[in-house]
Amino acid sequence: MLSIHDLHVSVGGKAILDGLTLDVPAGEVHAVMGPNGAGKSTLSYALAGRPGYDVTAGTATLDGADLLGLAPDERAARGLFLSFQYPTEIPGVPALTFIRTALNAQHKARDEPEVSAPNFLKLIRAKAADLKIDFDMLKRGLNVGFSGGEKKRMEILQMAVLSPRLAILDETDSGLDIDALRIVADGVNAMRGPDRAMLVITHYQRLLDYIRPDAVHVLAAGRIVASGGPELAHELERAGYDKYAKVAA
Amino acid sequence: MSLARAIETGDLAELPSRRDEDWRWTDLRGLLRVLPGPTLADAAAPTTGPFAAVAAHRIEIANGRGETHYAVAKGRSDVLDLRFLSTGSGSHVARFTIEIGQGASLRLLESHEGAAADYVREIDLAITIGQGGALDRVVLMADCDSAISVVDATVTLGVGARLSQTVLTDGAKRQRVETRVVNPGGGASVRLDGVYLPAAKRHADITTIVTHTGVGGTTDQLVKGVVRDQARGVFQGRIVVRPGADKTDARMGHHALILSDRAEVDAKPELEIYADDVACAHGNTVGSLDEEALFYAGQRGIPDGDAVAMLTRAFVGEAIDRIEDAAVRGVCLSWAQGRLERP
């Protein structure tokens, strides 16, 4: 479903990704692990189309169609969702308004009918309850004054409502206590399915105890330097990233 | 010296110019080389104004002609739709006085509507609010592109009276909405908000001067601007606390977004404090839209233009949300939405 080939990305003229190749088939959850500075967040931002992340070579396709030539909103409409490591605060725009605007913008881009207000409310009420998000919180400015855990739950809520083809979870475990981690992981696991792929980006193996990946990749110095099954995450937890730093160099 | 005097005397030297400190960003003398003759009504006035649905009583003053006075008797409560119409080119002046009796209240829904091109006009209002009285004033400016337009209001509050004002404007060729307020204290409170949203080559100036003359008055001001294309926004806010006006509490906030390289915002917030025991604060920011928020909205599927409209609407909504009456607030929100969604 997601196919990345020989991707090179620079930020501010500095090369960060250096020939990254990765395939995530439909129905699978892949984890990308790596030390700080390896390029994990750059990978997620480059796939989402963040300005300032310049693709200098390589390709990335979703369902066979090029992603890199599209604007961020067009990528979203094709089914790409990024759960941000640091979700942005949007003062003055209630979460409800924001999510409904996003959902209907995606529907419009795909020539699908608009979701009516009552149907939207029904949908988001159910999803919010699953994630133990107080409905009143959805009437407040999106992420404004939310705790780290609340912001992450709000990301997963948006993912649940927008129902993407490909979800990229960038350090979704950072800033979460164990209870919040379990709620978030349950939310993510509920969305696993044969038509959806997920890319879980994390520094620590902890999250992968809750979201069991089908495959684990090690990202070091801008490239995938090793791939394996879930056991690879445990090995990394034990031995650290040192040996991969040498491989990359 | 004022546009009104220049129109009435035909003397261009009466026009405020950039040499006058209070008019340096809204120069009229450099703009008007010839004063046009008096406006003759040559276009039909729009039949209903923006507040038609939310006010029962209406006064219309077309091209400076019409009623000149309105009073609210002691203890009474009124809603007035006051329309100033410009239906032909040329120049005109109107003066209007409003007297709000002791303990009385008025919701004043004031619109300035240009149905013609190339008019030059000044509207002067003198408003007094009796002791314990209240005025909720919303001013909606709807001048045409080629208009030169000034609204000058003086509001004098009685002890314990309240003024809550919101000015909404998208500017004109050159436009100023000025409000001078005297706050005598004794619990008198002033809310003096504004929203300016000029685009194209329009110019919008919101100028306010509040003078605290007695003990225990409050002023709370929030002005928000979004300026696009080659438009210019001007905010001048002065709060003067006279000697002896102790326990004054004055807060001023002005925040503007500039959405294009060629747009401009000029701001001059001033606090002049001559009393000791006061609480005064002001905040002033001028910047561009948060790029992170735009990318975040884009990542969720909201196209750039829609995201800009959503974020700017939220930005100015903060000021409009302070209008107490829900129906009036609704009119103002849809006005702002209409301005911000224009391509």
Residue B195, pLDDT score: 98
Q: What angle do CA B218, B221, B224 make, to 5 degrees?
A: 175
Q: Which residue would you say has higher pLDDT here, A144 or A234?
A: A144
Mean pLDDT of B115-123: 93
Q: What pTM was estimated for this model as a whole?
A: 0.88
Mean pLDDT of B30-44: 84
Instruction: Please answer whether residues A222 and A17 qualify as being in contact, where contact means their C-beta atoms are separated by less than 8 angstroms.
Output: yes
Terminal Cα-to-Cα distance of chain A (whole angstroms): 30
Give the number of A-B residue pairs with CB atoms closer than 8 Å.
Answer: 77
Contact call for B314 and A92, based on CB within 8 A: yes
Q: Is A60's pLDDT higher than 60?
A: yes
Residue B42, pLDDT score: 64
Q: Is A248's pLDDT higher than 80?
A: no
With H, G, I as helix, E, B as strand and everything else as coil, classify residue A204: coil
Query: Picking from A87-101, B32-46, B146-160, B234-248, which range would have the lowest pLDDT averaged per residue?
Result: B32-46
Banded model confidence at residue A243, pLDDT cuts 50, 70, 90: confident
Which chain A positions have a beta carbon within 8 Å of B226's beta carbon?
none
CB-closest option in B290, B301, B315 to A76: B301
Residue A233, pLDDT score: 86
Q: Is B44's pLDDT higher than 80?
A: no
Residue A37, pLDDT score: 84
Q: Percent of chain A at pLDDT above 70?
A: 98
**pLDDT single digits (tens) B185-226:** 999 999 999 999 999 999 999 999 999 999 999 999 999 999
Residue A140, pLDDT score: 93
Banded model confidence at residue A184, pLDDT cuts 50, 70, 90: confident
- Strands B162-169 and B189-196 turn out to be parallel
**pLDDT single digits (tens) A104-116:** 999 999 999 999 9
Using a CB–CB cutoff of 8 Å, tell me whether A109 touches chain B: yes
> Which of A47, A83, A90 is the best residue to mutate to test the B interface, defined by the most B CB atoms within 10 Å of its own CB?
A90
Using a CB–CB cutoff of 8 Å, tell me whether A103 touches chain B: yes
Torsion of CA B20, B21, B27, B30, to 10 degrees: 40
Banded model confidence at residue B343, pLDDT cuts 50, 70, 90: low
Residue A244, pLDDT score: 79
Instruction: Please answer whether residues B130 and B101 qualify as being in contact, where contact means their C-beta atoms are separated by less than 8 angstroms.
Output: yes
The ipTM (two decimal places) reads 0.96
A191-to-A66, A168, A194, B209 alpha-carbon distances in Å: 25, 13, 10, 58
Banded model confidence at residue A246, pLDDT cuts 50, 70, 90: low
Q: What angle do CA B35, B40, B45 make, to 5 degrees?
A: 120
Residue B116, pLDDT score: 86
Using a CB–CB cutoff of 8 Å, tell me whether A83 touches chain B: no
CB-closest option in B300, B314, B315 to A76: B300
Q: Is B139's pLDDT higher than 90?
A: yes
Mean pLDDT of B152-156: 98
Residue A152, pLDDT score: 92
